[in-house]
Amino acid sequence: MTKGIILSGGWGTRLRPLTCTIPKSLIPIVNKPVIERQILSLKSAGVREIVLAVSVMSDVVKNYFGDGKRLGVKIHYTNEKYPMGTAGAIRLAEDYLKDDNFFMLNGDIIMNFDFSDMLKSHNKYKGVGTIASKILEDPSRYGVLIVNNETNQLCKFLEKEEYMPPEGKIVPMPINAGVYILEPAIFSYIKPNKKVSIERNVFPRVAEENKLYHYPISGIWKDIGKPLDLLQANILLMEEILQNLKGEVKNLIDESVEIDPSTKICSPCTIGENVVIRKDCSIGPNVIIGDNVFIDENTEIKNSLIYNESYFSKNVKISNAIISDNCMIEKNVEILGDTENLVILSSFVKVLKNIKLISKNHQPISYCHHEEVKENIE
């Protein structure tokens, strides 16, 4: 039976300071960890046994998922003592994966395509590997795939620094979407106990042997490598979930939420469990609020992510921000990012009353966990 492995051991450096206290793999996407959504996608394709390749804050990941029973799958773990690369990580899991083909996912992407159809395509072409590909208008941040559209064969795999657009112009190209199906034969391409990149060291060799194929995907695909990507990914997935619901559902609001009748909810919004929102507030559009959050009177929040257990006092204004768990925002505070440069508060940050944090001159603002914000930035 087809299994799966999710690479979930990265440091999440580009997402700091958020990932100083939360493993990148547990970063919430519409109030559910990114790799939990991936596990459920694999489960929908019939996968019942999954390996999580963990490293950074591995105990936190293991405590959250346990043996996988809660999600209806069996979860194994491999733990890298030192960085092994994307291929080295799956080589560590060979004993779990060697009996059949398996999905391999990068643990920092969201997508909504049909995994079972990708598996049918892989079985049809009988290659060593199949790579999900996504055409992007600007592929410069990703590895580019040179493909034969008639046979779906992947002819060449170019890392981002190797791709030279014709005449220097950016043109739409298929990129590596970070989802693969691999046969056990892939292990013969990976040296044991070495740091090996599957993208740089393995896939080019498989492509040269004409044993690598691609599977074009449509719909949502987004990595969460940077804070702005993370905000956009949440909004995209929230919109997708709402579109797929029957009826005219405009927001995702848990039944336990307590919202004063005078408060306006501007769709689309997601509001988690046990949230309290007092009178004369304005929430949305494009707001995702986690669980056990308290929002006092006359507070405005838009285009932002709010994690669990945070407190917002009266007369607070927030836009273009990511506020992590257990933060405290005192009264008359303004936290205003712009569309490209967000304001980011890591866990347990306290912002004192009357403070203004306003991103100007294209400069993001961020605070590490347990900081107390006493001075204005504007």
Q: Indicate which residues carry an active-site annotation.
A: 160
Cβ atoms of 288 and 305 within 8 Å: the answer is yes
> Which residues lie across from 311 on neighbouring strands?
294, 328
Q: Which residues of 17-43 are buried (b: 16+ CB within 10 A; e: fewer)?
A: bbbbbbbbbbbbbbbebbbbbbbebbb
CA–CA gap between residue 333 and residue 31 (Å, rounded): 25
Task: Return left, alpha or beta for 162; rule: phi > 0 is left, psi -120 to 50 is alpha, else beta.
Answer: alpha
Report residue 37: phi and psi, to 5°: -65, -40
User: What's 33's DSSP letter?
Assistant: B
Tokens 């080019």 -> residue = 204
Cβ atoms of 206 and 121 within 8 Å: the answer is no
Cβ atoms of 8 and 359 within 8 Å: the answer is no
10 Å Cβ neighbour count for 9? 23
Residues found in the chain: 378
Cis check for the bond before 23: say yes or no (omega within 30 of 0).
no
Ordered alpha helix ranges (H), the chain: 34-44, 58-65, 85-92, 94-97, 115-125, 203-208, 227-244
